[in-house]
């Protein structure tokens, strides 16, 4: 049973280099997620490495290859209410695979774009 409103936040690999104002963007995202969580405690998690965001709980992952990365997320899906991806890409192999697993597990999967520098 879920006791928190848990959200996995992933970013495209270039987000940290291309985003106009990362701190402001993540603050707005957190405010939006807090509203969505309502009266339930919000728990934001991310992954290690290039698909992760700074400043939140990190779930152990292995992004050396897509299979290991997806397996780690799949093992964690039971603890999540939704997955949020921040990306301007239309296709990205790792994120597309996460989308498929989220769909199979009936988890909300949302992609948000961002303003570039």
Q: Specify the CATH number for the domain of residue 107.
A: 3.40.50
**Domain tally, the chain:** 1
Task: Please tell me the predicted confidence (pLDDT) of residue 2.
Answer: 56
In which residue are the tokens 């995202």 written? Answer: 29
- DSSP count for the chain of H helices, then E strands: 4, 5
The pLDDT of residue 97: 92
Query: Is 43 a member of any domain?
Result: yes
User: Is residue 117 in some structural domain?
Assistant: no
For residue 3, what pLDDT is reported?
A: 67
Assess if residue 87 is contained within a domain.
yes
Question: Which residue has 């987000």 as its token pair?
Answer: 15
Q: What averages of pLDDT result for each successive group of 10 residues across the chain (117 residues)?
A: 83 92 93 91 93 91 87 92 91 91 94 92
List residues bridging with 82 in a β-sheet.
Answer: 7, 108
Q: In what helix (H) or strand (E) does residue 80 lie, and over which residues does it extend?
A: none
Question: Does residue 20 sit within a domain?
Answer: yes
Q: 87 lies in which domain range?
A: 5-112
With respect to residue 67, please indicate whether it lies within any of the assigned structural domains: yes
| Element (DSSP H or E) covering residue 112 | strand 108-112
Look at residue 24 and tell me if it is in a domain. Answer: yes
Residue 1's pLDDT is what?
A: 46
Q: Does residue 51 lie in a domain region? A: yes
């Amino acid at each position: 049973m879920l006791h928190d409103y848990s959200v996995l936040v992933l970013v495209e690999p270039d987000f940290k280099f291309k985003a106009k104002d990362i701190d402001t963007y993540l603050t707005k995202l957190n405010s939006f997620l807090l509203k969505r969580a309502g009266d339930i405690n919000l728990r934001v998690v991310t992954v290690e490495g290039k698909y992760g965001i700074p400043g939140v709980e990190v779930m152990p992952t292995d992004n050396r290859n897509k299979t290991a990365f997806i397996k780690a997320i799949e093992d964690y899906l039971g603890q999540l209410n939704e997955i949020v991806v921040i990306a301007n890409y239309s296709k990205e192999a790792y994120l597309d695979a996460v989308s498929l697993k989220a769909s199979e597990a009936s988890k909300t999967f949302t992609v948000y774009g961002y303003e570039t520098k």
